[in-house]
């Protein structure tokens, strides 16, 4: 076994790998970019080495920097985690060429399965069923010949990046161009393939494990059909879909696929199951690495997959064959917590935009059957340079209903303040009737997303924020402890009822709300005044972790973090940033911006500029593309008109709400 291992990754996966290294008594070496100097994985490792600036290309994607770090730290092996260079055959060769052990499959296996076109040919020759598709020259024509809808996929990568479902073939050329851009940015290769879209598909994957002595086994399946934008957000094991015969056949096909490419280590073979025929399945791809969702397999098998990656890489044989693989026990479900803001779109859908900020307050759940894999710590600065996934909350139980119930409860106890996350969304998704019944497909999240967003901010959130603002405006006593009573915002009036103190508040993305406060009661919006108070010891509003509110006969508890100009409040997985609202200032800003102005919906980088000043454009025409956390967002013309201002170029870094361009409306005839 190795004495020291460098983890060539960051965030929650680095923390996860370090946990196993520590348990096995192996020295862990973390690497970090300038943006991650204070990150949790750096603090938890035995050693840490700086590898470059925030840009991934000059740090986490730089093989020379990583190998130099391994040499300086005296590491014997490199664990690539997932993402970045985990499925890069050139990196695997560079590691072994430097005299180190790559904790992953041979470079040849990565090369074969990393190219989706070659992978399909390889496994097809081994008798594994593959999805019909097309690639190479004339991709658009071949896709049109298949008929719609078609799925465009980057040949060189996975994780949903660059994948586009095209239902309207009139937009095929535009979608191919966008998919190529995303593929080139994510994987350095813009080769695409088009596959026939299978209606109401289920996404099932098989975990395989292979040693260097000829043993290849599978450890059962994971259900990964709960996705948005072709990216998984909830996974479980075993699948509620498969019958024993299909499960066995799929497992055998996965083993054949792994043998076909000479696989070694832990890997995943992904299949798609048609909604109308649950006994058939088609090969999609093989991920030649550890998967984000590996904890659900670990929880039902009792195996530590990172440990077995290490043991296999060190030359040890697997101590079991397929007949003696540990039997699955119970059920496990995982939810991915991501830094993102959900916004309803004009067509009734939901856009998930990357969010950023400092983690002001963090509370991660504990409890029977609950596991958290997280890269977060209070004070972590979440930026837009890397993938938006922050943590994973996983629950195990003796049956599926128990696992789901435990996971929903764990998400309710998860608090991240300072950065928008999808925690509350995930909790509501897990309570959806289709999820509870197990009768869903990959289209469920997109179809149900709008109904999983809260319609409004609860009144008690505004009431708590108003009372915190009121408490925070109290004057500080002088050296003798005296406070001028006329400085106290009590609403006191000579000979009359106390006057109302008015707070105009606004939650991000919502309309402003007026809250009136006087001693003992609060009126929120158009509601009648109701009794309200912050409970004893928590009325100062000076940054306590929790506040309790008594309002209209009920008691509410919120996680709390004070920030300049406002407060973050969290409950049951949801979080709200409530800030003071100045209608005069807002009116001025609105007049300055106007309906003709296009602004950045998120912090990120402008990757494409499709228009120039003076261009005549039509409503809905894409003018710019802003990318953040490996996701693209198209900025479109708000109406027919002429581009009169363009304030950015390709490569410009932009902040949220920064002005990008202006389109003057077309003059009526």
Q: 368-417, pLDDT tens digit by residue?
A: 999 999 999 999 999 888 889 999 999 999 999 999 999 999 999 999 99
Do residues 34 and 95 share a domain?
A: yes
pLDDT band at residue 539 using 50, 70 and 90 as cut-offs: very low
CB 40 within 8 A of CB 377: yes
What pLDDT, on a 0 to 100 scale, did the predictor assign at position 481? 65
Report helix angle 305-313 to 294-301, nearest 10: 90
What DSSP element (H or E) covers 535? none
Asked, for residue 276, whether it belongs to a domain, the answer is: no
CA separation for the pair 522, 552 (Å, rounded): 9
User: What mean pLDDT value characterizes the chain?
Assistant: 90
Do residues 465 and 569 share a domain?
A: yes
Do residues 466 and 527 share a domain?
A: yes
pLDDT band at residue 536 using 50, 70 and 90 as cut-offs: low
Identify the domain boundary among 178, 196, 214: 196
CATH number of the domain to which 463 belongs:
3.30.700.30
Asked, for residue 167, whether it belongs to a domain, the answer is: yes
Asked, for residue 500, whether it belongs to a domain, the answer is: yes
CA separation for the pair 648, 663 (Å, rounded): 14
Q: Which domain holds residue 535?
A: 459-474+492-581
Identify the domain boundary among 161, 196, 231: 196
Identify the domain boundary among 177, 196, 215: 196
Cβ within 8 Å of residue 667, ≥6 positions away? none
Average pLDDT on 97-104 reads 98
Do residues 153 and 46 share a domain?
A: no
Phi, psi values for residue 43, rounded to 5° = -70, -30
What pLDDT, on a 0 to 100 scale, did the predictor assign at position 200? 87
**Beta-strand runs (E) in 455-603:** 501-507, 513-518, 521-524, 530-534, 546-551, 554-563, 566-571, 574-580, 597-599
What separation in angstroms does the CA of 551 have from each of 212, 460, 523?
Answer: 65, 7, 10
What pLDDT, on a 0 to 100 scale, did the predictor assign at position 538? 46
Do residues 137 and 190 share a domain?
A: yes
Asked, for residue 639, whether it belongs to a domain, the answer is: yes
CATH number of the domain to which 167 belongs:
3.30.1490.20
Average pLDDT on 598-618 reads 88
What DSSP element (H or E) covers 294? helix 294-301
CA separation for the pair 255, 222 (Å, rounded): 15
Q: What is the pLDDT of residues 518-533, one digit of tens each?
A: 999 999 999 999 999 9
Do residues 563 and 598 share a domain?
A: no
Q: In the predicted model, is pLDDT for residue 611 greater than 70?
A: yes
**Higher per-residue confidence, 135 vs 660:** 660
CB 603 within 8 A of CB 628: yes
CATH number of the domain to which 76 belongs:
3.40.50.20
Do residues 576 and 463 share a domain?
A: yes
Q: In the predicted model, is pLDDT for residue 330 greater than 80?
A: yes
Do residues 80 and 22 share a domain?
A: yes
Strand order in the sheet with 653-654: 631-636, 622-628, 604-609, 653-654
Q: How many domains does the chain have?
A: 4
Give the number of other Cβ atoms within 10 Å of residue 666's Cβ: 14
What pLDDT, on a 0 to 100 scale, did the predictor assign at position 489? 62
Q: In the predicted model, is pLDDT for residue 161 greater than 90?
A: no
Q: In the predicted model, is pLDDT for residue 552 greater than 70?
A: yes
Q: What is the pLDDT of residues 654-668, one digit of tens each?
A: 887 789 999 999 776
CB 443 within 8 A of CB 197: no
Phi, psi values for residue 113, rounded to 5° = -85, -15
């Amino acid at each position: 076994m190795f004495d020291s291992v460098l983890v060539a990754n960051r965030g929650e996966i680095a923390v996860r790998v370090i946990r196993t290294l520590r348990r096995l008594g192996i020295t862990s070496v973390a690497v970090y970019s300038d943006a991650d100097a204070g990150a949790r994985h750096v603090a938890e490792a035995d050693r840490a080495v700086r590898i470059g600036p925030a840009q991934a290309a000059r740090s986490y994607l730089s093989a020379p920097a990583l190998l130099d770090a391994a040499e300086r730290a005296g590491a014997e092996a490199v664990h690539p985690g997932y993402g970045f260079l985990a499925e890069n055959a050139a990196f695997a060769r560079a590691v072994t060429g430097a005299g180190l052990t790559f904790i992953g499959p041979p470079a040849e296996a990565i090369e074969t399965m990393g190219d989706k076109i070659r992978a399909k040919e390889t496994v097809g020759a081994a008798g594994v069923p593959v999805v019909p598709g097309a690639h190479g020259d004339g991709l658009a024509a071949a896709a049109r010949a298949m008929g719609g809808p078609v799925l465009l996929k980057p040949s060189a990568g996975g994780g949903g990046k660059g994948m586009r479902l095209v239902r309207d073939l009139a937009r095929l050329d535009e979608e191919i161009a966008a998919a190529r851009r995303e593929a080139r940015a994510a994987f350095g290769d813009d080769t695409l393939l088009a596959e026939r879209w299978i209606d109401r598909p289920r996404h099932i994957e098989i975990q395989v494990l292979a040693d260097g002595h000829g043993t290849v086994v599978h450890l059962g399946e994971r259900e990964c059909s709960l996705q948005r934008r072709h990216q998984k957000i909830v996974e479980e094991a075993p699948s509620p879909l498969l019958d024993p015969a299909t499960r066995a056949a799929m497992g055998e096909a996965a083993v054949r696929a792994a043998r076909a490419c000479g696989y070694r280590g832990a890997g995943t073979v992904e299949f798609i199951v048609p909604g109308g025929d649950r006994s058939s399945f088609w090969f999609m791809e093989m991920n030649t690495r550890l998967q984000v969702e590996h904890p659900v397999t670990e929880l039902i098998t009792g195996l530590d997959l990172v440990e077995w990656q290490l043991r296999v890489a060190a030359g040890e044989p697997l101590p079991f064959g397929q007949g003696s693989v540990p039997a699955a026990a119970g059920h496990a479900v995982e939810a991915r917590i991501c830094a993102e803001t959900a916004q309803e779109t004009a067509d009734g859908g939901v856009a998930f935009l990357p969010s950023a900020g400092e983690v002001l307050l963090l509370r991660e759940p504990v409890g029977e059957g609950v596991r958290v894999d997280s890269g977060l710590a209070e004070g972590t600065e979440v930026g837009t340079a890397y993938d938006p996934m922050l943590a994973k909350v996983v629950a195990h139980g003796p049956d599926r209903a128990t696992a789901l119930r435990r996971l929903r409860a764990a998400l309710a106890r998860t608090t991240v303040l300072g950065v928008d996350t999808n925690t509350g969304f995930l909790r509501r998704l897990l309570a959806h009737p289709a999820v509870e019944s197990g009768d869903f497909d990959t289209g469920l999240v997109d179809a149900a997303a709008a109904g999983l967003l809260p319609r409004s901010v609860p009144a008690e959130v505004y009431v708590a924020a108003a009372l915190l603002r009121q408490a925070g405006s109290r004057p500080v006593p002088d050296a003798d402890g005296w406070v001028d009573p006329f400085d106290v915002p009590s609403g006191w009036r000579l000979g009359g009822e106390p006057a109302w103190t008015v707070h105009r508040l606004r939650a991000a993305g919502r309309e402003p709300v007026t809250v009136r406060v006087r001693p003992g009661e609060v009126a929120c919006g158009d509601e009648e005044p109701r009794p309200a108070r912050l409970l004893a010891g928590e009325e100062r509003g000076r940054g306590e972790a929790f506040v309790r509110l008594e309002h209209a006969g009920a008691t509410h508890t919120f996680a709390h973090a004070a920030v300049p100009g406002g407060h973050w409040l969290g409950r049951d997985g949801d979080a709200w940033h409530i800030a003071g609202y100045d209608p005069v200032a807002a009116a001025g800003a609105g007049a300055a911006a106007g309906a003709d102005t296009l602004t950045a919906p998120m912090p990120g980088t402008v990757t494409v500029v499709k228009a120039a000043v003076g261009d005549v454009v039509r409503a809905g025409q894409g003018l710019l593309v802003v990318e953040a956390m490996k996701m693209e967002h198209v900025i479109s013309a708000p109406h027919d008109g002429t581009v009169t201002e363009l304030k950015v170029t390709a490569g410009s870094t932009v902040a949220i709400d920064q002005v990008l361009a202006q389109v003057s409306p077309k003059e009526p005839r």
